[in-house]
Amino acid sequence: MPSNKDDLLGLGEAHFVTNKFTEIRPAIPNQVTEGDSFDAAFMVMNRTDGQRTITVNLAAEGEGVDAQPTAKEILAEPYVRNRVTMPVKVRKSGEVTFTVRAGDEMDRDGIIVKLPVHTMIAVEAAATYGTTTSQKVSERFEFPVNMRTDTGKVSVVVSPSIISSLEGAFGYMKEYPYYCWEQRLSKGIMAMHYLNLEPYIAKSFSWEDARDVVTRMIADASSFQAPNGGMCYFIPADEYVCPYLSAYTAIAFNWLRGSGFTPEPRVEEALHGYLLDLLRKDIFPSFFSKGMSSTVRAVALAALAQNGKMTRGILRGICPMWSIWISSARHTICLQLLHLRAPGRSSPRSMT
């Protein structure tokens, strides 16, 4: 135990750096392939202020490695890197282990370096993909004749679909406390999805009144519809109609019908009338940007087309605005063209 001249004891900590007089660094490839021949190089440096004669010994080992141990003597000037090499040939995949020693009577150093040797093959991959809700899936495949046994593999990657871990989203909407029309509509749509997806939801979660939430939402729709047929957040008056909310309501009614629910015909018919006027005229609020307007028009088009209320006249009227529509809206427009049928024809007809 150390002490100072006054016999005081204690604990101290310090850092210091020291350099060896001999340094070896590898300068070999990062990887090689079976059948390659190359010169394995190592850099040796004399880290003293005087000239030294340093002996360097190199050896390489590994299965399928052809390399003779090499000993070389170099005259090393101070702080100059000297390149020392040995010829190596690799015949098989695996690994080469290099052992290098260098030094003189003053100082010695040594390192061990491992180099991977890869297989000389062109790997081909084949894959099949699918989705299922079954508990068991089988897939048949055949191994090639005379296939190599030292490479290749068969693997299966399984990942869950998005129909999982839904309890958090449904739990949030189940307890959703806000009651403007947009929020009632969203809660009702989520209750509808709960009923459709109930087999995929953990049994620890239950939305007992989900069906009642949907039917109440459908019944409440008329209380938020303005005289012009558009939908409002709170007060059902023409000056408070929101084009976005109206288009959202129309597409949501389509979703409800697809899940076995029936929106009130009078409400839906008036709503469609408002949306048709919206498409024929520029009646958007002043704060709607061109992108916002094009998105609302696209949703309205989708809702009307699915109800057989889209006409070529409406599409011709909005086509001049194509250049300002965002890409998602353009995509929706193209889909709606597929809903148009010429009388007596079973396939879509192009519109110029």
Q: How far apart are CA 322 and CA 183, in angstroms?
A: 32
Which one is predicted more confidently, 134 or 218? 218
User: What are the structure tokens assigned to 237, written together?
Assistant: 């008056």
Strand 81-90 with 52-61, pairing:
unpaired
Contacts of 105 (CB under 8 A, 6+ apart): none
Residue with tokens 């209320």: 309
pLDDT, tens digit (0-9, with 9 covering 90-100), for 16-40: 777 789 999 999 999 899 999 999 9
Predicted confidence (pLDDT) at residue 287 exceeds the cutoff of 90? no
How much is the pLDDT for 32? 93
User: What superfamily would CATH give domain 22-118?
Assistant: Immunoglobulins (2.60.40.10)
Q: How confident is the model at residue 15 (pLDDT cuts 50, 70, 90)?
A: confident
> What is the pTM (predicted TM-score) of this model?
0.51
Residue with tokens 């396939």: 347
The alpha carbon of residue 258 and the mean position of all alpha carbons in its chain are separated, in whole angstroms, by 31
Residue 142 one-letter amino acid: E
The alpha carbon of residue 101 and the mean position of all alpha carbons in its chain are separated, in whole angstroms, by 49
Residue with tokens 């300068």: 27
Which one is predicted more confidently, 348 or 142? 142
Backbone angles phi, psi at 278, to 5 degrees: -60, -35
351: number of Cβ within 10 Å: 10
The b-or-e profile of 293-308 (16+ CB within 10 A means b, else e) is bbbbbbbbbbbbbbee
Domain segments of the chain: what residues? 22-118, 167-337
Average pLDDT over residues 153-181: 87
Average pLDDT over residues 160-183: 88
User: What are the structure tokens assigned to 254, written together?
Assistant: 């389509």
Q: How confident is the model at residue 1 (pLDDT cuts 50, 70, 90)?
A: low
Q: How far apart are CA 351 and CA 345, in angstroms?
A: 14
Q: Which of 277, 210, 209, 287 is nearest to 247 (CA)?
A: 277
With a pLDDT cut of 70, the percent of the chain lying above it is 85
First-to-last C-alpha distance (Å) of the chain: 97
Average pLDDT over residues 119-132: 80
Residue 94 one-letter amino acid: G
Which one is predicted more confidently, 346 or 160? 160
Predicted confidence (pLDDT) at residue 86 exceeds the cutoff of 60? yes
Q: How far apart are CA 341 and CA 140, in angstroms?
A: 43
Long-range contacts, 263-271 (Cβ 8 Å, 24+): 263/218, 263/221, 264/218, 264/219, 264/221, 264/222, 266/222, 267/221, 267/222, 267/225, 270/225, 270/229, 271/225, 271/229, 271/230, 271/231, 271/246
